[in-house]
Amino acid sequence: MMKDLKEAIENIISIFNFSLDSFYEEPERFYLFDPEYELKALDEVNLTKNIAVFGNCINITIRNIDAISISGSYTNEDLEAFHDWVKDNESQKVQLSISLEKKRYVYQKYQQCNVDLVLYINPNALAKNISYEGLEKHIIISNRPHVILVPLWEIDVISNNYLTFIGGSFDGVINGYLESLSIDSETIANSIQQRYELQRLYCNMGNRWGNILPNHLYFSDVSCQDPYLIIKRLNHFLFLISLHFIANVSTVNTFSIHGYKNVTISFADKEFINFEPKYSKIIFKLYDSIYESQTQDKLLITRNVMSIYLSPETSESEFVNILPELFSSYDANYDSYIKDKIKAFFDKKKELEKYVRDTSETLSKQIALVSENVSKSLLTVIGALIVGAITYSARGNMKVLAVFFFLFGFISLITMNFILSTANREKELQEKSFKHFINLIDGINETEKKKIIGDVIDSKYDLFKGIMFESNLYKYFIFLLSIVLAIITWNIGINIK
């Protein structure tokens, strides 16, 4: 339990008569070194009980002429020897080092949990690591859920879908709580990747900071006593990182907005800015709205609105003060934009539906025309063949009839080729024109376009292709028939002689 951990840490600090700020804290260990420690200040009463909480993750070494060490895994005999050594040297100054290997402790206690777990003994050390570099290296280190144990911070649990703080007031079983965290790491990773791809497409952040999103740092409802300013530092970087996802170009503390005019927002290079929570909520709401959908359009609206409300050189205080009004204007402009988009959508839809009807009618006329021309040509050819056969056979001039059949078949082939080739070119031009028009229609997504167009046009193109294929068969049939008749009548003419 966190209360046991909190009590053990506080007792160890008091046993050696040090303050919390006398210790140094790194992401992996919490330690102290005092080259002139007075042993008479050491209170051994609860030492054994408290170091046992940490097992072999804690090590205490005292050096004089010789040295003695003790850890949480020592036996009673070791503890007795330590006690005797302290009594023998209590009037002297010694070198004292205390080292708690936090990473090893967390791994041994909670290794089965599918989270990234970090322990911070001193809440001030955690607050100092809430920076661009510290967030990336020590707090948000992967796409898995991040849980930070802060036993000396008087909170219960503060959590969102990405980051959880568990403080000294938590009275549950930590392992059980960690196992209950049902966060889909794959979904989180995909969300992070998707938003960063959009950010890289529309913004130039320069050197981006790992996998940190504003979502990691946003807690919708936090009300706690926070003497260490952890929440305020989180709000500070939530504010800055949100602006990195909005600005056209940004450096660490400077953000350039290109709208109706160019605007630069500059933040003072200080440890942190004490934003009120309401402003952090507004900037997060703006960022989240932009990256939820239609990112390009929303960024354009946001940047234009910001360029209207802000002066060319804007300080952080000017920007923060005008933020509520700016967000309201963004909201109103986006509503107006959506109405315009809806109207444009229905206008485009009507235009597309009309074009589809016109194209369908044109194709029907072309199909009817091709069928009519082919039918006329076939009737003409057949009629000419019959008339020619009767005329020349009655005169007995079979060779002339053969030549007539050959020439007529050749002329029929050329004529049919011309008719069908012209029809096919018209069809190809019509198809290209139709596709070009469809591609020009914006404001309607591809799925909606397919619903409006339906399969009528494709069916008519298929019918047109079928008629062309059959017409080509008829063309070659007439040609071959003419050639066969020419050969037969030529041979008959030869035999008659």
Task: Supply 431's token pair.
Answer: 């198809």
The radius of gyration of the chain from alpha carbons, rounded to an integer in Å, stands at 43
With beta carbons less than 8 A apart as the criterion, state whether 101 and 29 touch.
yes
- The pLDDT, as a whole number, for residue 398 is 65
Residues in CB range of 313: below 8 A, 6 or more apart: 264, 266
Dist CA 264 CA 319 (whole Å): 10
Supply φ then ψ for residue 42, to 5 degrees. Answer: -80, 130
Task: Supply 262's token pair.
Answer: 């160019």
Dist CA 354 CA 360 (whole Å): 10
* 66-102: b (≥16 Cβ within 10 Å) or e: eebebbbebeeeebeebeebbeebeeeebebbbbbbb
Q: How many CB atoms lie within 10 A of CB 465?
A: 12
- The pLDDT, as a whole number, for residue 293 is 84
With beta carbons less than 8 A apart as the criterion, state whether 2 and 167 touch.
yes
Dist CA 29 CA 448 (whole Å): 59
Dist CA 334 CA 294 (whole Å): 11
Task: Provide the β-strand partners of residue 99.
Answer: 31, 59
Dist CA 50 CA 10 (whole Å): 9
Q: Which parts of 16-73 fold into alpha helices (H)?
A: 47-51
Of residues 176, 141, 256, the one with CA closest to residue 2:
176
- The pLDDT, as a whole number, for residue 33 is 93
Question: What does the pLDDT look like over 483-494, one tens digit per residue?
Answer: 776 677 667 666
- The pLDDT, as a whole number, for residue 263 is 93
| Strand arrangement, sheet containing 313-315 | 249-250, 254-258, 262-266, 313-315
- The pLDDT, as a whole number, for residue 393 is 56
Task: Supply 277's token pair.
Answer: 């929570």
Report, as ranges of residue numbers, the positions in the chain whose pLDDT lies below 50: 342, 345
Residues in CB range of 89: below 8 A, 6 or more apart: 39, 62, 64
- The pLDDT, as a whole number, for residue 446 is 60
- The pLDDT, as a whole number, for residue 70 is 82
Of residues 35, 34, 62, 33, the one with CA closest to residue 47:
62
149 DSSP 8-state letter: E
Task: Provide the β-strand partners of residue 313.
Answer: 264
Task: Supply 210's token pair.
Answer: 């790992």
The verdict on pTM exceeding 0.75 is no
- The pLDDT, as a whole number, for residue 383 is 63
With beta carbons less than 8 A apart as the criterion, state whether 288 and 240 touch.
no
Dist CA 364 CA 167 (whole Å): 76
Tabulate helix, strand, coil % of the chain (nearest 5). Answer: 65, 15, 25
Dist CA 100 CA 23 (whole Å): 11
Pairing of strands 116-119, 146-150: parallel
- The pLDDT, as a whole number, for residue 271 is 57
User: Which three-class secondary structure state does DSSP give residue 36?
Assistant: strand
Supply φ then ψ for residue 34, to 5 degrees. Answer: -125, 115
Phi-psi region of 449 (alpha: psi -120 to 50; beta: other; left: phi over 0): alpha
